[in-house]
Amino acid sequence: MAESEPVPATPTPLPEPYVAGRSCDGCTMCCKVMSIEALAKPRQKWCEHCAVGTGCKIYAARPEECRTFVCSWLVDAGVGAHWAPRRSRMVLTYQSEQHQITIHVDGDRPDAWRKPPYRDEIEAWAGKMAANGGQVLVRMARDAVVILPGLEKNLGEVRDGQVLLATKRAGPAGVAWDVVALEPDDPMLKRLGR
Ligand code: SF4
Ligand code: SF4
């Protein structure tokens, strides 16, 4: 602001990046289900600095990964209120480059994503992601399940950095999808320009 401009009587509020009415208050689910590289914290283990359901005990000194993380429920109005992580026990993230929605499911509630209304919504999202070459990935304690139109495939353990490659084949019975997890330096990805 230039010095000659009048100072407003009350500060102008910063634009609110979160969906109105949503906040992290009372949640902390991401401090369990996500891995934090800087802390060598694996998935599905409560962070040692977490006051569960309250917040971070080292908030001012938390790693960059934690500072920059927001789940999709917080920032995407298209994600319904019932996806609130503290209630659904699932944390949604979206990877735009891969057109991938990842659902990090609390290992203590591994079937949460199969229950209504979640499962139907996940299938609808899978159709939209597939149209752009992506998919929905459901991550549980160990296994990762890919959902594509007409396909639910358990890939077992998918490590960070691995790339999911979905393929489809048209046949007399319609389109059949498949998916594999590849290392980032897999020659197949290079051939495909990915
Ligand atoms: S899961 Fe989402 S709402 Fe919950 S604490 Fe993490 S960022 Fe906030
Ligand atoms: S450092 Fe804080 S914000 Fe980061 S995972 Fe641990 S408790 Fe959560």
Residue 193 has what pLDDT?
A: 80
Ligand index nearest the alpha carbon of residue 47 = 2
| CA-proximal residue: ligand 1, atom 2 (nearest) | 71
Structure tokens at 131: 């149209």
Residue 101 has what pLDDT?
A: 96
Distance 22 CA to ligand 2 centre (A): 19
CA quadruple 137, 138, 140, 143: dihedral positive or negative? negative
Between CA 158 and CA 103 the distance in angstroms is 13
| Overall pTM surpassing 0.85 (yes/no) | yes
Between CA 192 and CA 194 the distance in angstroms is 6
- The sheet with strand 151-154 has its strands ordered as 90-95, 100-105, 135-139, 144-148, 151-154
| CA-proximal residue: ligand 2, atom 1 (nearest) | 62
Residue 113 has what pLDDT?
A: 98
pLDDT block averages, 10 residues each, the chain of length 194:
33 62 95 96 96 95 95 95 97 92 96 97 95 93 94 93 89 88 89 82
Ligand index nearest the alpha carbon of residue 56 = 2
Distance 18 CA to ligand 2 centre (A): 19
Domain ranges across the chain: 23-69, 70-191
Closest ligand 1 atom to Cα of 24: 8
Judge contact between 143 and 154, C-beta under 8 A.
yes
Contact 27 CB / ligand 1 (< 6 Å): yes
Judge contact between 105 and 89, C-beta under 8 A.
yes
Q: Which amino acid would we find at residue 150?
A: G
Q: Specify the 3-state DSSP secondary structure of 127.
A: helix
